[in-house]
Each structure stands twice: as C-alpha cells, then as structure tokens.
Chains A and B, each alone.
Chain A
Amino acid sequence: MVSSKFVIAAFAMSMSAAALGAGTHGDEHGHGAKNGEPGKASDANRAVTVEMHDNYYEPDAIEVKPGETVRFVIKNKGSLVHEFNIGTPAMHESHQKEMMKMVQHGVIQGGKLNRDMMEMDMGDGTSMKHDDPNSVLLEPGESKEVIWKFSEKGDIEFACNVPGHYQSGMYGKVNFN
C-alpha cells in the first residue's frame, strides 16, 4: 500500500538531489568541520565492531588518530531498523529531516526496510538508496562494513538518525588522540 506510485511521486518531489546524498553533505552543513572521507580497505589497520541495539551502540565511544583509516563492522542486534552514520552534529541534524521523510513514506517501518522503494528511480536519476560511504542503514540481523578515513580532529559522532533515536541518545563520540 505504501509503495503506490503516488507516494513515490510525492517522495521524489519532496527531496532535492542534494538532500538525497544523505551524509555526504560534508562542507555544506558542517560549518567547515570535516567528517573525513571514504577509506581504502588496504589502508585500514584495524577493525572496530559496533553493535546496534534498541536504541544504543556498543561501544558508544571510539578512539581514533587523525588521518587513521578504520574498518567498521556494523551489526544490527536490535529489533528495529538502525543507522550508523559518521558526521558532525550539524550533518546529523540535517540528515534527520530526510530520515523522517523515509519513515513518513514507509521506507522505514519499525523493523523493516522497504528496499524496493529505496532502489527505485525517482524520475530524476536519484534514488533513496542510502548508499553513502559514511553510513549504513540496517534491518535487524543485518551486518555491513564502513571503511572510513578520519582526516582531522573535529566534533565527530556516529549516530542513528532514525526519528527519535539520536534525540534519545543513540550516538557515539569519536575521540581523537
């Protein structure tokens, strides 16, 4: 019922191409703060496993060195859809509006992701794939990797921007040392 043409059309109209690049806003929204850049697997010296629960991360803080590339193994151990997204607080706040639309349009429904809808072409060459390299969006039981190069010190958090989750504390601090 939610995947009707009408909903898709409304969805496409409501989102700009820039906004669709969920999480890759970088300089636009970060007020100069950078969250880093996609890393190469060969540069990653260590793997960090982050478990997502309802609604918190384990661990809920990580230590990195400036310039370090980390391979994150993200596991959704909860019973709801969760996101792992590396960014500044401002980037997260901006992304939350897009995630709210994903819920309102039925892409995220509690413990389910409507992947068909995410794959669909919106008519302007964009989609709601949520496939940006700094983030993954996982159903319960799913596991994916994010390889990320932290470039410099900054106010960086990993966060779940599913509505209400970040607000109630589903975030973790990236501490530089």
Chain B
Amino acid sequence: MKKALFAGAVCLLLPTIGLAGEYNLTVDRVEIDTGDFVKQGIGYNGKSPGPVMRFKEGENVSINVTNNLNETTSIHWHGIILPFDQDGVPGISFPGIAPGETFTYNFPITQAGTYWFHSHSGFQEPDGAYGSIVIEPDGREPFRYDRDYVVQLTDKHPDSSERVMRNLKVMSDYYNREQQTVGEFFSDAAENGLMNTVKDRMAWGDMRMMKADVEDLQGFTGLINGKGPKQNWTGIFEPGERIRLRFINSSAMTYFDIRIPGLNMTVVQADGNNVQPVNVDEFRIGVAETYDVIVRPKDEQAYTIFAESMGRTGYARATLATEKGMEAAVPGLREPARLTMADMGGMTGMSGMNHGGMGKGDMMGSGTMSGMDHGAMKDMDHSAMKDMDQSAMKDMDQSAMKDMAGMDHSKMANMDHGSMMMPEGGASDPFYAQGSGLIPTAANGGKFLSYADLKAQKPLYEEREPTREIELRLTGNMERYIWSINDVKYEDADPIRLKYGERVRFKFVNETMMTHPMHLHGMWSILDVGAGQWNPIKHTVSVQPGTTVYVETEVDAPGQWAFHCHLSYHMAAGMFRKIIVEGGPESNQAGSGEHSDAIGGDA
C-alpha cells in the first residue's frame, strides 16, 4: 500500500483540488498461525489481517486490488458511504474480480472514523480476508488522545469455512460443545422435578434448538490483530496517556464481551459515528460492529484486554503495557450463558421454528387467543415454571394477551416471557428480552454498555416521521440450518424496493433464538433507542432473540445494495436480501442488472 506522495504535494500548491490517494492491495493465499494451530487462509498484501488503510475525509481514493487467487474475489468497504458500483458485492454491485485481474475502486471519502473491509465472496472473509480502515476527520476530532490502536478481533477456526458450513448443514449442533449433558439433566430434575425437566427438554427439542445454542460455532481461537492469546498482541503506552482503542469485530460468528481489568473505558464512537461519551466497565461487540473507546492507564504496568465470547466458549486476549513482554493476569471464562424461554422469540418464533402443530396460518389467521394451539402454549411455559412467580402470572392482563394475537411482538416479549421469567433481581437491558439468558453484566459489577446508552454526538439527519414501515421477521430452522427473512431465503426472495428520498422504518422481529447482526450496505441505520434526534446511526444492528428492534433509514443512496445478517454462515444460508433504491439522481440509478463498462475500466 503506497500513497502517492506527489499527490499531497500537489494539493499543497493547489488546495482547490481535493486530496487524492492511490493505494494497492493484493489478495493472496497466506498462512495463518494462531499459536494453537496453523492453517491456510486468505489475506491482503501477504498477511491476514490485511493492512490498516488510513484515509482522510474529503480525499478521493483510488484502490487497485489485484486478485492473486485462483477464484473470484471482491472487497466490500464496510460502513463506507459510496456509489453502489464501488460497494464490492458480486452480483449486486459488480461482477467481482476474476483471478489475475486488477480492479480499481474509486470513491470519495465523505466520513471519518473506524471501519473495516473484507471480501464479500464465498467464505473468503472467515478464511482471513479482512483489514481495517481508519479515516481522519476533515476538522479536529471531538476528543483528545495521545495515541491510537486498531484492535481487530476474529474467531479463527481450525476447519476451513467450507467444511464448517457443510458440517453445520449436516448436523447443526456439530460445533456445539456446550450441550446439556445427562448429568445436567439429573441435576435439573433434582432441582425442578422430573416432569418439569422432561417437559423443558421436550419444548426445546420441539423448537429444533437447544439451550446452549448461544453460539453455533465453537472451538475457535480468538485473535486480536492476527495474534492468538499466547502470541499476545501488545500496545505500548506511557503512563497518563489517553489511548484510543478502535475495536472492530471481524469474526465470522462470534460476539465478544470486552473488558480491560483495572481500566475504565469511555466509549466515544460506534460503527464509525461519534457518540456522546459514556463511561463503561465492559461492552459487547456484535459481529461487524466497531466501538472506539478511550482509556487512560496511569500506572506503569500491563493491562489485559480480555474479549470473552458471548457464549463463554473462547476468548481473545491482548495487552496494553509500557514495554513489550510485560503482561497482566488473564481472567478465566465465566459460566456459559444459557438461553431461557424468554429468548424463544415469542409465539411466531415457534411457527418460524416449525414448532410442531402450530403453523403460521394458525397464528396469523386467528386474531384471538382462542385460535391458538393451547397445547403448544403449555409446552412453552415449562422451563418458566421453576422461576415463575404466581403473582406475576396473575398480573398478566388480558388486553396484553390480545396484543399477542394482534402480533405486537415487542409487547409479547416484554409481557409474557418477562413476567414469567424474570430472574430474581436479574440484569436488564431494553435490547434483550426480559429474563433473557443473554443479558450481559460487567465482570466487576460495574457498568455494561447498552444500545440504550448510545446517543449521537451530532445528529447526521433531521428528525422526521418515517414514510412507511417494513416488517422483517428474522427466521430460521436451526436443525436444517436454514436462515431466512420472513421465512424466505435469499435465492427464493424478491428484492426489497425502496424509493429514493423516503425514510423507511424497518421493524426487525427476531423469531429465532440466535442474535443476528443486521447489516445494511450503502445507507445508515438510525437505531431507535428512544432518544429522538439523538438516536445513533450504525451500519450493523444486533437484534437479540425474542426482541423487536426498530431502525430508520434515510434512503439517500441510489442503486442496489446488499442487506444481510453478518454471521457468515447465516448469510450463506439465506438470511440476505437485495435492496433496490428506485429513482434518484439520473447518473447513479441502478441498471437492470447490467454494469457499465466504466466500473472495470482501469483493470
């Protein structure tokens, strides 16, 4: 990657001409050594992860990407606002980059912050084809720090991604090492009674899922900047300095809970957009998200950056220290998270999961509680029984029950499962189902970041009423490893058509028991955290099991775009849509699937 220096010099002489930088990336077969195992993978400029691409807001970049693989490749600039034909999704933005070909991306940089890039072809990204992007703002940063580091996470699996997908398809719990055991069955039975335990297991079996399905891919080694826990990536600091850490989760499948024992973190940016600073002890980073935090170690000692997977089956580890070789204690993994019935995703979740005897038609058509299959209802409650407080049960009001039939999923999650399942004095977070087994708590008992804490530092858009709402149910069948939207997988689905200039409200209803990081290309997702004009803007929004999340999008980018769950194997299994933006400035409209010659012109 070399930047043409003369371009900078020219700009000093002729400040009216925008900055222009030329960059080179090669896509190569590489060897990846995690410290636990060595495997073949794909990288950029001979390495995985690829380089940190440093751009400046206002610059026009020209990036030559040479494909040294024997298969087609592509690079998607994740979170970057650019013309759709530069977005790098084969089949949607462009045809892809053929073996031996050099493709030149050209686009203006109109934003600042921390982003990343990755291949959008096959399983190249989980195989190592990713890197980071740091964009310096045109003006000053609204915060101060003495140094900054990219902290890019991934979950490296010893199996090739193709093989992982095959195994998941054949046996969805192939990589589930946290399955409940016969021993646990007997201890549960001792605590909760044999019948309740049997019914609980049967209910979960009916849903084609198991309580331990927090992570469907286990057995990975967590890497930070390409280094495994033993290899211990280390960032150097002087005591008293403020350090900006740019966390990027480039994992295929893994959510991480991140903490630095001994240090408070101030979150200043999420998904490249500045947020009002919030002090936290720990935060969860979804797949494809970024969070920038500022820390200020005052002592001459080492601090461990500890990133524990959401399901507690693995971790990544790095160190901040005053000199190389210093290290601090590495915490142990906490108890594995277990899904509760609250994570089940509501009644339609059961239909989405092909719950026995309760088809979608039963739900949609009935409109009243009596139309529902009460046998199925009963199954649902069993695991709740052990925690269920009878008074809470009585408090369930009938009008709320009608809401269930009226398909208001968010109320359902809060109402029925919440009142049945709320553990005593448990943690709460409005972005998780009440009583969810996934609600995170800080290891030190302090503050754990919630989406509800994220407020835009400077709103990008005027607040206005959305022009319409589009409901997207996130659906799946775990056993067959089919993941879909509105029960239809990508290859069978029509594109979602949006109109240029409208503001769409997307209603995500997660009817599965897995968390889905939903990523819209090309346009921002304004996450509704109830803060009105201060709602934060993101490129990837996590939707937790059993919850409904609203995001709004100002449809301001013509063309056609990808929209999908960013878990690699869910995306590949069909949780994906093409979005077509109709109308808009003449020159940028989406063609009828044809690509202009100009796209590959420099190749």
Chain A interface residues toward B at CB < 8 A? 53-56, 60, 79-80, 110, 163-165, 167-171
Contact = CB atoms under 8 A, between A and B. Distances in A.
A166 B292 CA distance: 16
- The 9 tightest CB contacts between A and B, nearest first, are A169-B144, A164-B277, A167-B266, A168-B143, A168-B277, A169-B143, A168-B266, A168-B268, A168-B294
Interface string B108-149: 000000000000000000000000000000001011110000
Nearest to B459: A79
A56 B279 contact: no
A110 B276 CA distance: 9
A164 B144 contact: no
Nearest to A79: B458
A169 B140 contact: no
B68 interface: no
The secondary structure that dominates the B interface is: loop
B458 A167 contact: no
Contacts of B455: 110
Given A110-B455, A169-B242, A164 B142 contact: no
A55 B142 contact: yes
B486 interface: no
Contacts of A171: 144
Contacts of A60: 144
A165 B143 CA distance: 8
B144 A165 contact: no
A2 B576 CA distance: 44
Contacts of B142: 53-56
B278 interface: yes
Given A55-B457, A168-B242, 5 more contacts: A54-B142, A54-B457, A55-B276, A164-B278, A169-B144
Contacts of B144: 56, 60, 168-171
B188 to A, nearest CB: 40
B26 interface: no
Contacts of A168: 143-144, 242, 266, 268, 277, 294
A55 B143 contact: yes
24 contacts: A54-B142, A54-B457, A54-B458, A55-B276, A55-B457, A56-B144, A79-B458, A163-B278, A164-B266, A164-B268, A164-B276, A167-B266, A167-B277, A167-B279, A167-B294, A167-B296, A168-B143, A168-B144, A168-B268, A168-B294, A169-B143, A169-B294, A170-B143, A170-B144
A169 B264 contact: no
A56 B276 CA distance: 12
Contacts of B242: 167-169
A60 B143 CA distance: 11
A60 B279 CA distance: 22
Most buried by B among A79, A165, A169: A169
Nearest to B264: A167
Q: Of A55, A60, A163, which is in contact with the most chain B CB atoms at under 10 Å from its CB?
A: A55
A123 B534 CA distance: 36
A55 B534 contact: no
Contacts of A170: 143-144
Given A110-B455, A169-B242, A56 B140 contact: yes
A117 B458 CA distance: 27
Nearest to A167: B266
A105 to B, nearest CB: 17
B294 to A, nearest CB: 5
Nearest to A56: B142
Interface in B275-322: 276-279, 294, 296
Contacts of B279: 163-164, 167
Contacts of A80: 276
B276 to A, nearest CB: 7
Contacts of B266: 164, 167-168
Most chain A CB within a 10 A radius of its CB, from B266, B276, B278: B276
A108 to B, nearest CB: 12
Contacts of A164: 266, 268, 276-279
A126 B294 CA distance: 35
Contacts of B458: 54, 79
Contacts of A54: 142, 276, 457-458
Interface string B446-458: 0000000001011
Nearest to A53: B142
A79 to B, nearest CB: 7
Interface in B322-374: none
